[in-house]
Amino acid sequence: MEKRIVITGMGTINPLGDSLEQYYQNLITGKSGIKRWESLDMTGVECKVGGDLGDYDSSASLAEFESAMGPDWYKRTRKLFRSATFSNKTAVLTALMAYRDAGLLGVSGDPTRTSVIVAGHNLNSNYIYRNSLAFTRDPDLVDALAGVEAIDPNVPATVAEVIGAQGATFTIGGACASGNLAIREGYRDILLGEVDRAVVTGALFDVSPPDIQASVVINAVVVKPEYQDRPEEASRPFDIDRCGFVYSHGAGTLILESLESALERGATIYGEVLGVKASANANHLPLPGAEKQTRLMISLLQDAGVAPEEVDYANCHATGTPSGDLQEIRAIKGAFGKHAYEMKINAPKSMLGHTCWASPIVETIGGLLQMKHGRLHPTINIRQADPEIDLDICANVAVDHQIRYMLKNSFGFGGINCCTLIGRYEGPA
């Protein structure tokens, strides 16, 4: 029988919460996590709103694991946190959360059968920016361990050290599609039999003020003055007044595992990964392409052996840009035809903002929680939907719905596309 891959653990830190319960409740109630930036100096930056977690207490969060980890393990991890970057700390924390959720924390086993894949790139941008400012004042002010801490591979290496994983450990980057690309790699590694489980982490993008201003220059983010004063209304996918995306901090981890391994240890199963497919637009510009997205969705369904009419829910990429949202809706209509009007879709970024490279994983966690509870979160800030966006977008209200198959879209700058299909777990037969 073909090997099956399931999701057995989840953990996230994002603007809507740092526990699964808090995250889900805030999604369902339509709470916005967007505010004015406080942890960044936004002097001269036109977009001053975002999902700011710069004051997140990583040490307090780690302390919650002390009793489960034991004194030696906890002490070693706490020592790593002394020099670890913001992105690294939150990656480790969400990995520990997911490991605990999966019932793996402190469980012995063959360490070579667990891989660690971290989604994202330029993870420590703000850390590097701050060190650059310090260097211009005095070269001796650069952090002593910047040569280690600043580079992206240090994040998966630290996660692997903390949980003791010795399988393949690396980063994979593809802009906003990074999270799904990481799921793709973990899924393939388990299918090939290289590992029994993969720790797939969407690392926090420690965005810097220059990053945000650079996005202002290309008209990608929200700069309208009225939304600088009403930040909770700034992220508005599908709305006729949408005017760009909103940067947010956020991290998440999924534990992918072979069904055989999950059943053997009696693990909770959130859903089954039925397929992951990627493609490119052959155009480096940040211009989404509905035709390529449609082709990718159709190919994914064909490979998974799932008919378009069986897919009942799409967790959309929907960043709130005028072109991107429209292209995605056109792609869904192209892939599903008339059935698109029978599907439920929603836009988690309306509340989360854009957690960038981590967004596919952070949002997949939200989708799996909706699958578990049988209730879909609203797409908030819909004053008037774009006339061409005429699908059921769960506008402004939560909806009861039992998800059978969830399509998770992610479309990154550079024309990098990746979609996953996750099904409700129906048992071993």
- Could you write out the DSSP letters of every residue in 335-350? HHGGGGGGSEEE-THH
Per-residue pLDDT tens for 119-144? 999 999 999 999 999 999 999 999 99
Query: pLDDT value at position 1?
Result: 44
Distances from the Cα of 428 to the Cα of 3, 90, 114, 301, 425, angstroms: 11, 34, 22, 21, 9
Mean pLDDT of 389-393: 98
Say yes or no: 299 and 257 in one domain: no
Q: Phi/psi at 333 (nearest 5 deg)?
A: -65, -40
Q: What is the three-class DSSP state of 117?
A: strand
State whether 208 and 282 are in the same domain: no
Question: Are 259 and 329 within one domain?
Answer: no
Give yes or no: residues 54 and 199 share one domain: yes
Angle (nearest 5°) at CA 3 between 409 and 196: 90
Instruction: Tell me the pLDDT tens digit for each residue of 19-36.
Output: 999 999 999 999 999 999
- According to the model, what pLDDT value does residue 235 have? 98
Residue 241 lies inside a defined structural domain of this protein:
no
pLDDT cut 70: percent of the chain above it: 99
Inform me whether the pLDDT recorded for 292 exceeds 80: yes
Q: Is residue 6 pLDDT above 50, yes or no?
A: yes
Same structural domain for residues 306 and 207? Answer: no
Residue 242 counted as domain residue: no
Backbone angles phi, psi at 158, to 5 degrees: -70, -40
Point out the least confidently predicted range of 247-256, 281-290, 346-355.
Answer: 281-290
Domain assignment present for residue 329? The answer is yes
Is residue 291 located within the same domain as residue 203? no
- 429 in a domain, yes or no? no
Residues 254 and 335 occupy one common structural domain = no
Residue 105 sits in the same domain as residue 170: yes
Question: What is the residue-averaged pLDDT of the chain?
Answer: 97
Instruction: Summarize pLDDT for 294-326 with one digit per residue, the tens.
Output: 999 999 999 999 999 999 999 999 999 999 999
Q: What is the pLDDT of residues 215-229, one digit of tens each?
A: 999 999 999 999 999
The pLDDT value recorded for residue 269 is 98
244-278 tens-digit pLDDT: 999 999 999 999 999 999 999 999 999 999 999 99
Question: Letter for the amino acid at 197?
Answer: R
Q: Residue 3: is it exposed, middle or buried by C-beta count within 10 angstroms (0-12/13-18/19+)?
A: exposed
Binned at pLDDT 50, 70 and 90, residue 204 comes out as very high
* Domain match, 307 and 169 both: no
pLDDT number for residue 366 = 98
Confidence of residue 426 (pLDDT cuts 50, 70, 90): confident
Task: Decide: 419 and 265 in contact? Cβ < 8 Å.
Answer: no
pTM recorded for the entire structure: 0.97
- Residue 2: predicted pLDDT: 78
Q: pLDDT by residue (tens digit) across 356-380? A: 999 999 999 999 999 999 999 999 9
Query: Nearest-CA neighbor of 362 among 7, 6, 10?
Result: 10
68 and 199 in a single domain? The answer is: yes
Say how far apart CA 422 and CA 405 lie, in whole Å: 6
Secondary-structure percent of the chain, ordered helix, strand, coil, rounded to 5: 40, 20, 40
Q: What is the mean pLDDT of residues 182-193?
A: 97
Residue 166, number of CB atoms within 10 A of its CB: 14
Question: Residue 181 pLDDT > 60, yes or no?
Answer: yes
Q: Which residues form the domain of 173? A: 5-212+247-264
Indicate whether 371 belongs to any domain. yes
Number of compact structural domains in the chain: 2
Residue type for position 75: K
C-alpha to C-alpha distances, 322 to 47, 276, 391, nearest whole angstrom: 17, 27, 16
Of the pLDDT bands very low, low, confident and very high (cuts 50, 70, 90), residue 37 is: very high
CA distance 273 to 162: 26
Token pair for 109: 């086993």
In CATH, what number is assigned to the domain containing residue 400? 3.40.47.10
Nearest to 47 by CA among 202, 204, 225: 225
Of 264, 296, 328, the residue at which a domain comes to its end is: 264
Judge if 27 and 159 occupy the same domain.
yes
CA separation for the pair 236, 114 (Å, rounded): 39
407 DSSP β-pair partners: 314, 421
Residue 237 in any domain: the answer is no
DSSP assignment of 2-52 equals: ---EEEEEEEEEBTTBSSHHHHHHHHHTT----EE-SSS--TT-S--EEB-
**Both 253 and 290 in a single domain?**
no
- Cα–Cα distance measured from residue 222 to residue 216, given in angstroms and rounded to the nearest whole number: 8
